[in-house]
Structure 1
Amino acid sequence: MAASALGDIQIRDPFLLVVPDGEGYVLFGSTDPDVWSGPGRGFDCWTSADLVEWHGPIAAFRPPADFWSSGQFWAPEVYAYAGRWHMFATFGGPGVVRGTAVLVADAPTGPYTPWSTGAVTPDGWECLDGTLHIDAEGAPWMVFCHEWLQVGDGEVHAQRLTEDLRSAAGPPSLLFRASQAAWARALNAPQAADDSDGREHDGEDGQAAYVTDGPFLHRTGDGTLLMLWSSWGDAGYAMGVARSESGHVLGPWVQQGTPLWSSDGGHGMVARLPGGGLVLALHQPNETPRERAVILPLREVSGGIELARPHRAGGPGDGPGCGA
């Protein structure tokens, strides 16, 4: 299998899985050449022993002939749970109400097969980017976005799941709306309208629309529960951080005043390396087909997180570099 650097791999919404027992890393993400118009081919992944040299692509998921979605295969996240590997991923396409479904496999690289019956997000809701969170009592939750396409001001919700992760175990709870973050900007602002990501940028009836993308929860060593999520900022696609005042997924959530990543990149997640260090994985730039995964050192500070090195605008090769 050929070896590649991160700069050689077209990928959006990267998710870095740290395989237990020192067995390396697996990189997942939205990997179809055209994730917006399709058709949906599936998800590929790459493996690495050092976060620098990557081997793949490996076909992690290919839809069966009777699969309920034909395209817009987005943002796979993989978790070890109940002795198997569970993938949370978003599916949509023409005539399909977009939502997050759960797939399952016996190995981290797959092959993954459908586990839930269709989406586990609410019926009739346009949703995306479901992420798994296990609370202090061991109960599984899914945090997901209710899309601005349907609600205008994009929302982030939490929803209890059944113990087998196959369906919802209760109604969704609204955590916050995108406009509550001081750094978030409306899609019809000039800086958002000029940022090409292949998606429509007008709110209904010309009203301001705000994006919520890519929630991911991280609990710090001092017990603080944080959520990374993405929207548009002053310099295009960006990623901010919210903090749960209660330490529970239901919050209330308080938004950090400035974004963690401010320009032309986002949809990030935090991974803890075998030695205990943290890295942030995100994609940059936000333009198809130029998007690439960037992996950067991260550190915890009192009640939060910050990049271990500052970043500046530009492509992956112009920033702090890939790898930890």
Structure 2
Amino acid sequence: MRDPFVLKQESEGCYYLYGSTDPNIWKGKAIGFDVYKSRDLEDWEGPFPAFRPEPDFWSDTNYWAPEVHAYDGKYYMFATFKAEGVCRGTQILVADQPVGPFIPHSDGPVTPHDWECLDGTLYVDEDGTPWIVFCHEWVQVKNGTVCASRLSPELDRAIGEPILLFSALDASWVDAVKGGAGYVTDGPYAYRCNNGELLLLWSSFRQGRYAQGIARSVSGGILGPWVQEPEPIYENDGGHGMIFRTFEGKILLTLHAPNSTPDERPVFIELAEEDGRLRYV
């Protein structure tokens, strides 16, 4: 599994684990997304088929990075899709329960149709406005970026033009991939600290290895400006992470490591938070 994402379901006292689960996620015909269920993050039930495309679904490859968010009484999956001759993008799916089945909610991707995009995540600001935060991919722009777009209250379309938050080279620790071909931005995820500071997790490469970085919003809002932490929080060839709290109150970072297929697995790392700073326990 790549790109692990955990949904904590209070009413059931359990966790749902989603991720990129196709046997070959890089090429060939995609199958869908699976989900696992656990009460202790150690013993897992599943896999259960969370999403399987209908025959007329537009995308047939690169099913990546599903995130599931509880919002307004339903469960919304933000997931990356692609098809031959169509730009990669994040579409929003919906279901009545965390295990699915998820069905298309937005009319195709809500990211710009002429941009190669991936890894959309939901962020709801303090006014209750939903946003999608996503990456404009380095394969198209070389210096990958993280952008945000407002979403409709129904989460079925973007409203207005994307807003640039930062680019890969804004972080001093980022190195180029594939002999200088470009600079990667992957997997944004927003985390609000106890003191009100807003962090944004995202991933890139350092010295040839996948790494988990953190940006900090000066304003405390999603539009920043964003300041990059000088060092990744994890640089041992793992990333595309998110943070959640366990039922016992622990703060866990989950990411996949190593970054090689088919060896990648979800990893759970306990963190402590002090004055808006995160560190390993």
TM-score range, shorter chain: over 0.9
Q: Within 5 Å, which residues of 2 pair with 1:6-21?
A: 11-21=1-11
**1-structure distance, mates of 2:87, 2:131:** 21
1:261 maps to 234
1:315 maps to none
Percent of paired sites with the same residue: 53
* Partners of 1:32 and 1:38 within 8 A in 2: no
* Partners of 2:4 and 2:266 within 8 A in 1: yes
Q: Within 5 Å, which residues of 2 pair with 1:202-221?
A: 203=181, 209-221=182-194
Q: Within 5 Å, which residues of 2 pair with 1:47-126?
A: 47-126=37-116
**TM-score, length basis structure 1:** 0.85
Residues 241-290 of structure 1, C-alpha deviations (whole Å, 9 max, x = no match): 00000000000000000001012100000011223221011000100111
Residues 171-211 of structure 1, C-alpha deviations (whole Å, 9 max, x = no match): 1000000011011101135xxxxxxxxxxxx62xxxxx100
1:228 maps to 201
Residues 47-93 of structure 1, C-alpha deviations (whole Å, 9 max, x = no match): 00100001111000000111110110000000000100000000013
**2-structure distance, mates of 1:221, 1:151:** 35
Structure 1: tracts of 5 or more residues without a match: 1-10, 190-201, 204-208, 309-324
1:23 lines up with 2:13 in the alignment: yes
1:187 is paired with a residue whose SS is: coil
Structure with the bigger percentage of strand: 2
1:34 maps to 24
Structure 2: tracts of 5 or more residues without a match: none
**2-structure distance, mates of 1:54, 1:96:** 36
1:244 lines up with 2:217 in the alignment: yes
Return structure 1 stretches of 4+ with deviation > 3 angstroms: none
Give the CA deviation at 1:34. 0.3
Whichever residue aligns with residue 279 of structure 2, its letter is E
**1-structure distance, mates of 2:273, 2:160:** 33
1:145 lines up with 2:135 in the alignment: yes
Residues 104-133 of structure 1, C-alpha deviations (whole Å, 9 max, x = no match): 000101010000000000120000000000
1:164 maps to 154
**1-structure distance, mates of 2:268, 2:12:** 19
* Partners of 1:183 and 1:234 within 8 A in 2: no
2:140 is paired with a residue whose SS is: helix
**2-structure distance, mates of 1:74, 1:96:** 15
**TM-score, length basis structure 2:** 0.98
Whichever residue aligns with residue 32 of structure 1, its letter is D
